[in-house]
Amino acid sequence: MFSLLKPFIFKIDPEMAHDLAIKSLKYNFLPEELFTVENESILESKIFDTKIKNPIGLAAGFDKSAEVYNSLFKFGFGFVEVGTITPKEQLGNPKPRVFRLEDDRALINRLGFNNDGLEKVTQRLQKNSPTNFLGINIGPNRDSNNKTEDYLKCIKEIYNFANYITINISSPNTPGLRDFHNKNTLKQLLKNITEFTKKNRIQKPLVLKISPDIAFNEIGNIIELVKAFNISGIIISNTTDKNRENLTGKFKNEPGGLSGEPLAKISNDLIKKFFKEIKGEVTIIGVGGVNSGLTAYEKIKAGASLLQLYTGMVYEGPGIVKKIKSELIDILKKEKIKNVSEIVGVGS
């Protein structure tokens, strides 16, 4: 179905195509049975002590305002992350701000956290309970003069609806956001967040989403802080605003974050470095260029026990989840692996 529609979809501006997808998903009409695979039990995984059917999640940025998460679960994702949500509604940067690099199987976006804001999103979550494991990704408003306060506001309003909360410090499209990767700034942020959650008796797994553009010598600092403040997971990674050299698409020099195939190796290398030092104490969620059983397999071997994807779905449609699961099951069976968790980090 998607391959028939793809030539038409790819003639439309990427953001318009995305808005149409969100509109149609609101009808939630596709039967779950379309997306099931055999022998899925081999993929059964754990996310912060909860069992889920498979480790393939939807990355933040597709359902930015938490409008269609229950339709997305039907595509066969093991978990879905919505957001990034900011305290106030935000329009984002001027359009056009999403670009397809078809030959590179990549996207560049500079959306800038366009979303409906906390109030509307919490109303939606209240009306429509998530039917499966839901992560909520939060960030500060662009014009905020107290970014830390923005994270705290979001945590307070949404924690009740989330199975985990992602502290997003890594979008390249919000000026100054990635400064939170600096040791002292991150320490202060995590200290404020932990004090706040303790004081308000909020017990939810917290996850930190990081940039692939960090220097390798910053890894140690991040790991130390993540452990010290009991952060449950780390998402590696967000998009990169570098690494344009080998791209061929005509939009390759558009400012913004690059995602998709060119990000796969960059994020895998970073996952390997984190896995070696983290020693299983913090869950690694691997993101960047997952679009087949093999790319999923490589990321898990690098050290990710859970995965997420976004760009792959733009190029291959919702059937990509079923495809990745079937291909990954075949690979695991050939290798005589009984459960996917056995291969986490074996290639790092």
Of the residues 107, 177, 186, 296, which one makes contact with ligand FMN according to CB under 6 A:
107
Residue 65 as a binder of ligand FMN (CB under 6 A): the answer is no
User: If residue 165 lies in a helix (H) or strand (E), which one and from where to where?
Assistant: strand 164-168
Nearest alpha-carbon partner for 207 in 289, 133, 143, 108:
133
Give yes or no for a contact between 164 and 206, defined as CB atoms under 8 angstroms apart: yes
Residue 55 as a binder of ligand FMN (CB under 6 A): the answer is no
- Name which of 91 and 228 has its Cβ closer to ligand FMN: 91
Residue nearest to ligand FMN (CB): 61
Least Å from the CB of residue 73 to ligand FMN? 17
- Name which of 45 and 170 has its Cβ closer to ligand FMN: 170
Nearest alpha-carbon partner for 131 in 75, 59, 84:
75
Quote the CA–CA distance of 62 and 82 in Å, as a whole number: 7
Sheet holding 106-109, edge to edge: 98-101, 106-109, 257-260
Quote the CA–CA distance of 210 and 78 in Å, as a whole number: 22
Least Å from the CB of residue 333 to ligand FMN? 25
Considering CB under 6 A, how many residues would be counted as binding ligand FMN?
A: 28
Using the contact rule CB under 6 A, the part of the chain among 4-12, 59-67, 125-133, 217-225 near ligand FMN is 59-67
Contacts of 11 (CB under 8 A, 6+ apart): none
**Catalytic-role residue among 171, 211, 232, 305:** 171
Of the residues 45, 93, 137, 295, which one makes contact with ligand FMN according to CB under 6 A:
137
Contacts of 116 (CB under 8 A, 6+ apart): 65, 85, 89
* Catalytic site positions: 171
- The residue ranges that bind ligand FMN (CB under 6 A) are 59-61, 64, 83-84, 98, 107, 109, 111, 113, 137, 168, 171, 209, 238-239, 259-260, 263, 287-290, 309-312
